Amino acid sequence: MSLSKENKTTHFAWLKHPQNFLFFKIFIWFWLTVIGTITSLVFLSNLAINQVSNEQLQGPMLKNLEYAAKSFERIALKHKKSAADILQHPRLAKRKLLYLNSDQPENSITSRPPASDIDLSLVNFTKNMSPQVIFTENFVAFGPIKTTFPEGTFYLYEIDENNQPPFLIRLKLMPIWLKIAVALVASLALSFVFSRNLIAPINHLKQAANKLSQGDLTARANINENRQDELGILGREFNSMATQIEQLIAAQKRLLADISHELRSPLTRLKMATGLAQMQAEDKNQTYLLRIEKEANQLDKMIADVLQVTRLEAKSQPLSLHKQSMQVIITHVLNDAQFEAKQSNKTLHIEGQLNVDINCDESLLASALENILRNAIKYAAQSIYIKLTLTDVINIEINDDGPGVEPQNLARLCEPFFRQSDARDRTSGGTGLGLAIAKNAIAAHAGHLTLHNQTQGGLSVHIVLPINEQP
Amino acid sequence: MKLLMIDDDIGLCELLSEYLCAQGYEIECVHDGELGLQTALKHEYALILLDVMLPKLDGFDVLKQLRQTKLTPVIMLTAKGEDFDRIFGLELGADDYIPKPFNHRELLARVKAITRRIEHITSLSNTQANKLNVNSITINLAAREAYIDESLLSLTGTEYEVLALLVKNAGDVVSKEQISEKVLGRRLAAFDRSIDMHVSNIRKKIAEHNSAERIKTMRGTGYVFIQGE
C-alpha cells in the first residue's frame, strides 16, 4: 500500500517541481532556443515591408515592358494622342491590365478599371527604382518603366491580376501574429518530441532499475534495439547487466538448492543406516549409535540454519503469509521457552500481552523469537524478563541478567557464526546462527532488532514489528 | 503390503527397503520420475513415497499426472525448510510430506498411519455396508468413497479421511490436533498448515458440485461439519 502511495506522489511530482526533471529542462531550453531563433528570424524579415515584396525585374518580361513603353511614347508623338486615349484603346482592354502611374495620383490611368480588391497605390514605393517584380497579396506588378507623354511623365506598370504570389512570398505576406503562432506550435511539438525521445529511454532505465532493486529480476529497460546513440548503448548495456545478474542469482539459488540436496542425501542415508544398526546392535553399542544419531541431527540443523540464513539474507525465502494473532505465536514460543528455562533452573518473567493480528510467516517469526529466547536463557544467571507492549507497533523486549556483551561486539552479534571468544562453547548445541536468523527473519517482516547492554548488566534485545494487516 | 518408492538416491532406496522389509512391507524402488509415473499408473500400491527432486520428471509433475487418474496415497519427501514446496505438494493432492533427512521411526509412523486405513477398510468391507449421510454428503465407509447428491467426490485418501472424520462428528468442533493425530498419525507441529490445506482441497472439490458452505472454520480451534436442516 505504501508503495502505490509512493508511486502516486512520484507520478505527480513533476507538476510541483518541474525544474527537478531533466525532461523539463531539456524541453524548456530546446523550446526556448527554437522560439528565439524563429522569432528573431521573423522579426528580421519583417523589418522590410510586410505586405509587399519585390525583386529585380529581368529577362523577356523587362524587354516587353520597355518595348510597350517605347511604342506608347511613339504613338503619342506621331498621332498626338493623350496617354489616356492610348491606354484605354479597346485593343488593350482584353490584355493584361496596364497602369500608368503619375506623380499626381488623380492623373494616374489604367487600361481598364481594376478589380475592386486591387490596390494600385501599393506599387508607389518603387517609382524611383529600376524595374521590379512586385508581389502583393492580390496581384503581381511589373515595372516601373519611365514613359514620357506630352502631358507629363508616367511610370508604366503591367499588373497581373490573376497571378497568385509564390508560396514563399505568400508565407512572407502572412500576418505576423499567425507566423509567430505557427512557429510556436511547430516548435512546441518539435521540442516535445525531441525531449521525449531523449528522456524516454532514461525513464525506461529508471523503471527497470527500480524493479530490479525491488527483486523483479526479469525487469528490462524498454530500449529500441535500433537506437545507435549513447542512450541506446546505455540501455543495451543495462539490459545485458540485468541478464547477467539474473543468471548469477539463478545460479546461486540453484547452487543453494543443490548443496541442500547433495548434503542431505548422504545425511538421510546416514540416519537410515543408523536406524538399521540400532535395530540389530547389542545394548552396549546403543549409546554410540545414539551419539551418531544426535550428531547427524546437529549436522542437519546446521545445514538447515545455514540455508535459512543465506536465503533470508538474499531475500529469496518465500514467506508464507497468514493472518495470525501475535498472542498465539508468542504464547506458543513462551511455553516452550518456559520449559527450557525450567530445565536449567532459570525463570521467565512475562509482562504484558499482544492481542493483535498481524500478517506474517508465523513459523519464521516463531523461530526468530525462539532463537532470541534460547540465547537469553543460555546466558542468563537466573531470570529472563520479557516485556510485551503494544503501541502503533509491536514491541518485544527480552532482557537477561547475564554478563552482557562487550560493547565492541554488540554489532557483530548478529553475524553468522559469530561467538564471543570467552563463550566459545558448543555444548549448548547452538549453531551460531540463531541471532542471524532472528535478525533477518524480523527484517523480512519489515521490523528491526536492536541489541544493547543494560546499565545493571545483561543483554537486552528489543524487537519492533509494524502491524500490517494487509496481506 | 506393497509400497512404491520413487527416489533417485539409490543408496537410500536400498537402506529404506531393508528397513521397511524388516517391518513387514514389500517395497519396490524406481529412480526417475518418468519410470516412477509409469509404474505407479500400471500397478496398485498401498502407498507411494515420492521424492521432489527427480531426474526426467520432478515429483510435483509426477503427482499432478498421477492424480488425474489415480488416488493412491502419496507421501512427498521434501528438503527441509522449504515451506513453499510442502504447501504446493499438498495442494496438488499429496497425502502427507516428510522433510529430508527424516528419522526412520518417523517415516515408519507416517507410513503406518496411512496404510493402517487400508487394513481398516478391508476389515470394514467384510462387515455390512456402512454409510453415513449428513447434509447431502454421503460417506461410504466400506468403499471409502464420498458422494455429494449422488455424485462421487474425487478425494485423495487423506482428504477422504478428513471429511469422514468431520462428518462422523457433524455438528461438533474437531480440532486440528485431533485431525492430525487420527488422519496423519502424528502430532500437529506448531504452525503446521497441512490440515488447512487438506480441508481447503475438500472444500474446493465440494464447491464444484454445490457451493453451500458445509465445513466451517472455527478460528484457533478447528473445523465443524454443518449438520444442515
The neighbour count for residue A421, using CB atoms within 10 Å, is: 7
Mean pLDDT, all residues of chain A: 79
Between A388 and A312, the higher pLDDT residue: A388
State whether residue A253 sits within 8 Å of chain B by CB.
no
Identify the band that residue B30 occupies on the pLDDT scale cut at 50, 70 and 90. Answer: very high
Which pLDDT band holds residue A413 (cuts at 50, 70, 90)? Answer: confident
Nearest Cα of chain A lies from the Cα of B151 at a distance, in angstroms, of: 34
A293 to chain B, closest Cα gap in Å: 9
**A269:B83 CB<8 A:** no
| pLDDT for residue A418 is more than 80 | no
Distance in angstroms (rounded) separating the CA atoms of residues A464 and A445: 10
Q: Which residues of B touch A332 (CB under 8 A)?
A: 190-191
Q: Is the pLDDT of residue A154 over 90?
A: no
Question: Is A171 a residue whose pLDDT tops 70?
Answer: no
pLDDT class for B83, splitting at 50, 70, 90?
Answer: low
Residues of B in contact with A328 (CB under 8 A): 220
Lowest-pLDDT choice from A8-12, A325-329, B84-88: A8-12
The pLDDT value given to residue B6: 92
Which chain A residue has its CA at the smallest distance from B7's CA? A265
Of A200-204, B84-88, B200-204, which one has max mean pLDDT?
A: B200-204
Tell me whether A260 touches chain B (CB under 8 Å): yes
Whether A269 sits inside 8 A of B84 (CB atoms) is no
pLDDT tens column, B102-120? 888 888 888 888 887 666 6
Q: Which of A105-109, A398-402, B27-31 has the lowest mean pLDDT?
A: A105-109
Cβ B12–A269 below 8 Å, yes or no?
A: yes
Lowest model confidence (mean pLDDT) among A132-141, B81-90, B159-168? B81-90
SS3 of B164, please? helix
CB neighbour list of residue A238: distance below 8 Å, 6 or more residues apart: A205, A208, A209, A221, A223
- What would the pLDDT profile of B176-201 be if each residue is shown by its tens digit? 888 888 888 788 877 778 888 899 98
Q: Residue A268: which of B12, B22, B53 has the nearest Cβ? A: B12
Q: How confident is the model at residue A11 (pLDDT cuts 50, 70, 90)?
A: low
Kindly list the structural domains of chain B, giving each domain's residue range(s) and its CATH number in brackets, ordered by start: 2-120 (3.40.50.2300), 128-225 (1.10.10.10)
Are A269 and B11 a contacting pair at CB < 8 A?
yes
For residue A360, pLDDT beyond 60: yes
β A393-400/A459-466 pair status: antiparallel
Distance between B103 CA and the closest CA of chain A, angstroms: 7
Inter-chain CB proximity A261 and B53 less than 8 Å: yes
Confidence of residue B223 (pLDDT cuts 50, 70, 90): very high
Instruction: Please indicate whether, in this complex, the C-beta atoms of B79 and A257 are within 8 angstroms of each other.
Output: yes
ipTM of the modeled complex: 0.70
Nearest residue in A to B98, CA atom: A268
CB contact under 8 A, B103 and A271: yes
Residue A310 pLDDT > 90: no
Please indicate if any CB of chain B lies within 8 Å of the CB of A268. yes
Contact check, Cβ <8 Å, A273/B83: no
Residues from B contacting A (CB-CB < 8 Å) are: 9, 11-12, 15-16, 18-19, 22, 53, 79-81, 83-84, 87, 100-105, 190-191, 193, 220
Interface probe for B, chosen from A260, A270, A272 (most Cβ of B below 10 Å), is: A272
User: What CA–CA distance (Å, rounded) separates B10 from A269?
Assistant: 10
Place of cell 518417523: B106
pLDDT at A221: 83
Contact between chains at A268 and B101 (C-beta distance less than 8 A): yes
Residue B5 confidence (pLDDT): 92
Cα–Cα dist B14/B66, whole Å: 24
Check whether A286 has a pLDDT greater than 70: yes
Position of cell 492623373?
A107
The HSE-up count of residue B135 (CA atoms within 13 Å, CB side) is 21
By C-alpha distance, which of A173, A250, A243, A239 is closest to A208? A239
Q: Does the pLDDT value for residue A2 go beyond 50?
A: no
- The b/e string for B10-48 (b: 16+ C-beta within 10 A; e otherwise) is eebbebbbebbeeeebebebbbebeebbebbeeeebbbb
Averaged pLDDT for residues B45-58: 88
Q: Specify the amino acid at residue A9.
A: T
pLDDT band, residue B49 (cuts 50/70/90):
very high
Candidates B15, B86, B188, B221, partner chain A, best to mutate (most A CBs within 10 A): B15
Q: Provide the residue type at A407 as one letter.
A: P
Q: Is A80 on the interface with B (CB under 8 A)?
A: no
Q: Which stretch of A15-24, A34-43, A320-329, A368-377 has the lowest confidence by average pLDDT? A: A15-24
Give the closest-approach CA distance of A298 to chain B in angstroms. 12
What pLDDT score was predicted for residue A421? 57
Q: pLDDT band at A429, cuts 50/70/90?
A: low
Partner B contacted by A355 (CB < 8 A): no
Average pLDDT of the segment spanning A173-196: 79
Nearest to B195 by CA among B228, B227, B225, B223: B223
- A327 → chain B, closest CA residue: B220
Whether B4 has a pLDDT exceeding 90, the answer reads yes
Confirm or reject contact between A275 and chain B (CB < 8 A): yes
Domains and CATH numbers, chain A: 53-173 (3.30.450.210), 230-313 (1.10.287.130), 322-466 (3.30.565.10)
Helices (H), B43-131: 59-67, 83-91, 104-126
With contacts defined as CB-CB under 8 Å, which chain A residues touch B103?
A: 271, 275
Nearest CA in chain B to A299: B101
Confidence tier at A420 by pLDDT (50, 70, 90): low
Q: Which residues in chain B have their CB less than 8 angstroms from residue A307's CB?
A: 81
B19 and A264 within 8 Å at the Cβ level: the answer is: no
Chain B nearest-CA distance from A415, in A, is 21
- In chain A, the percentage of residues whose pLDDT exceeds 90 is 1
For chains A and B, CB pairs below 8 A equal 73
Distance from the A28 Cα atom to the nearest Cα atom in chain B, whole angstroms: 53
Band of residue A5 on the pLDDT scale cut at 50, 70, 90: very low
pLDDT tier at A6, thresholds 50, 70, 90: very low
Residues of chain B contacting residue A362, judged by C-beta atoms under 8 Å apart = 191
Dist CA A209 CA A221 (whole Å): 8
Identify whether the C-beta of residue B77 lies closer than 8 Å to the C-beta of residue B97. Answer: yes
pLDDT at A470: 52
**In chain A, which residue's Cα lies nearest the Cα of B101?**
A268
The pLDDT, as a whole number, for residue B48 is: 92
A202: Cα within 13 Å, side-chain hemisphere: 10
Are residues B103 and A318, on separate chains, in Cβ contact within 8 Å? no
Whether the predicted pLDDT of A41 surpasses 50: yes
Question: Which residues of A, range 376-405, sit inside 8 Å of B by Cβ?
Answer: none
Task: Find chain A residues with C-beta within 8 A of B55's C-beta.
Answer: none
Q: pTM for the whole thing?
A: 0.55
| Distance, CA of A409 to CA of A413 (rounded, Å) | 6
Q: Which of residues 335-354 of A touch B (CB under 8 A)?
A: none
